[in-house]
Structure 1
Amino acid sequence: MVHTAAFDVTDGPAVAAGIADVEERVGPLDILVNNAGMQNRAPLLEFTDDAWRQILDTNLTSAFLVGREAARRMTTRGHGKIVNICSLQSEVVRPGIAPYAATKGALKMLTKGMCADWGRYGIQVNGLGPGYIETELTRPLVEDEEFSAWVRGRTPAGRWGRTEDLIGALLYLASPAADFVSGQVLYVDGGMTSVL
């Protein structure tokens, strides 16, 4: 059974009310996956202040706010799993996506900080780092034959990732099999971060 709750993950009071609502209707939150994210491709010199704040709030602040609220409850129960959806760009960057990479690099370090602060309460916090995954949001890049050929050539697996490629890694990080794994980012990128 799937339960839903809609709230603004960039607004602290809305997050607190949303998490409280979820726990009241469904029960204790044992696993949190922070997956809010956006991209805004533009040269850094042309990136506006408003666009910067929006990408920072969506990609980073939301994980802090939702993670903190979930952890407040998890710490009192003595267990929990948090998985932050990082990115290949938590490690590397290419022209035109510096603000996105900055948020995902910061999310990697927030993941490690959450691990350091909340590990003693039985909470494991890890990151999942997708590579180039074919989705509706990446459709323009997939359809750009030059860029798509670059991705396939640059990735040892020789292809774009699929959303199904992320399932096993996420299930592992959310499972008891990862009870002694924390502060790590598991890259599911076809090997791209491993080669020049």
Structure 2
Amino acid sequence: MTHDKLNGSIHVPTQQLFNLHGKIAIVTGATGGIGLPVTVALAEAGASIVSIQVPRDINADALRIAVEATGQTFRYFECNLMDASSIKTCFTEIWDAGIVPDILFHAAGITHKSTVVETSVGTLDRVIDLNIKAAYLVCQAFGERLITLGRPGKVINIASMAADLVQEGVNVYSSSKAFVRSMTRGMSNEWARYGIQVNSVSPGWIATGMCRDMSQDADFHQYVVDRTSSGRWGQPEDLRGVVIFLASAASDFITGADILVDGGVLFR
């Protein structure tokens, strides 16, 4: 392979475009409904995994077993992503451990349903702390490290179709995901000169634990099926390909983009 990401892509053999062997991926939310299958897919594509996760995460063992079954290395660091000092400490521990990163997959986030009038300051604080502040600080720490090391890299943030389809009762969540998209574009502009691509993925209605109440409501379930051109709910596995694409050499000239994975909702 003849390739220099910082000075221009010369040639990557087609069979190597999606190969992540030798790469290290730092992942937040790796034990979640979307995070777990996508993180395992990154490992299957060849990446070693560094998981940033909450202490005593009940899905931690399942994640470790699944990643190690691919033959890739798995390491984890515990962090409270709702606390700025904890994020700073966590990344210091990661760098002190000698980890040299290539990919950041930031999937951690929370949703909340309430009307605008019902939304409390406490709810705002929780959503802002995780969906906005943590997203910014995690990307900031990752990008700063790559720039310091003079290395190219990839950042993939999970946004949401909700940034466009703002339904009643999800205003605070939708607003936070609109921020993620805007943040992604801003960071992409600053970091492209360093060979760092920053993109986001906006899932539609995905059948995860976060959406269990909605998917188990018969009327809403049918509404989603009828509203989606593909005629079904999305599955977490539907996001594997796009994240691997954005993490790989195949997307070296794509930055600041948001890729909608909604089965055909917004443009129906």
Give the shorter-chain TM-score range.
over 0.9
- 2:82–2:126 Cα contact (<8 Å) kept: no
User: Which of residues 35, 38, 44 in structure 1 aligns to 2:116?
Assistant: 44
Higher mean C-alpha displacement, 165-174 vs 113-122: 113-122
Query: In the alignment, residue 127 of structure 1 is paired with which amino acid?
Result: S
Corresponding residue of 1:110: 183
Larger relative strand fraction: 2
Q: Deviations over 1:19-43 (max 9, x none)?
A: 2222333621111111111111011
Corresponding residue of 2:173: 100
Indicate the RMSD between aligned Cα atoms, in angstroms. Answer: 1.1
Q: How does 1:1-196 map to 2 (within 5 A)?
A: 1-25=73-97, 27-76=99-148, 77-195=150-268
- 1:23–1:29 Cα contact (<8 Å) kept: no
Higher mean C-alpha displacement, 122-131 vs 20-29: 20-29
Query: In the alignment, residue 30 of structure 1 is paired with which amino acid?
Result: D
Higher mean C-alpha displacement, 24-33 vs 106-115: 24-33
Q: Structure 1 vs Structure 2: percent identity of aligned residues? A: 32
**Structure 2 CA distance for aligned equivalents of residues 36 and 93 of structure 1:** 20
- 2:166–2:174 Cα contact (<8 Å) kept: yes
> How big is the shift at 1:193?
1.8
**Structure 1 CA distance for aligned equivalents of residues 95 and 190 of structure 2:** 23
Q: Deviations over 1:113-141 (max 9, x none)?
A: 01011111111000011110001111111
Report the TM-score when normalising by structure 2: 0.71
For the residue of structure 1 that corresponds to 2:75, the secondary structure is coil
Given the superposition, is the C-alpha separation of residues 135 and 13 from structure 1 closer, same or farther in structure 2, using an over 3 Å criterion? same
Tell me the number of residue pairs that the alignment of Structure 1 and Structure 2 aligns. 195
> How big is the shift at 1:8?
1.8
- 2:83–2:129 Cα contact (<8 Å) kept: no
Q: Deviations over 1:133-168 (max 9, x none)?
A: 001111111100111111011100000000100000
Larger relative helix fraction: 1
Higher mean C-alpha displacement, 24-33 vs 93-102: 24-33
For structure 1, which runs of at least 5 residues remain unmatched after alignment? none
Query: In the alignment, residue 31 of structure 1 is paired with which amino acid?
Result: I
Higher mean C-alpha displacement, 160-169 vs 49-58: 49-58
**Structure 1 CA distance for aligned equivalents of residues 190 and 161 of structure 2:** 25
Report the TM-score when normalising by structure 1: 0.96
Greater Rg by CA: 2
**Which consecutive segments of 4 or more residues in structure 1 shift more than 6 A?**
none
**Structure 2 CA distance for aligned equivalents of residues 177 and 26 of structure 1:** 27
**Structure 1 CA distance for aligned equivalents of residues 151 and 75 of structure 2:** 24
> How big is the shift at 1:5?
0.7
For the residue of structure 2 that corresponds to 1:4, the secondary structure is strand
- 1:80–1:123 Cα contact (<8 Å) kept: yes
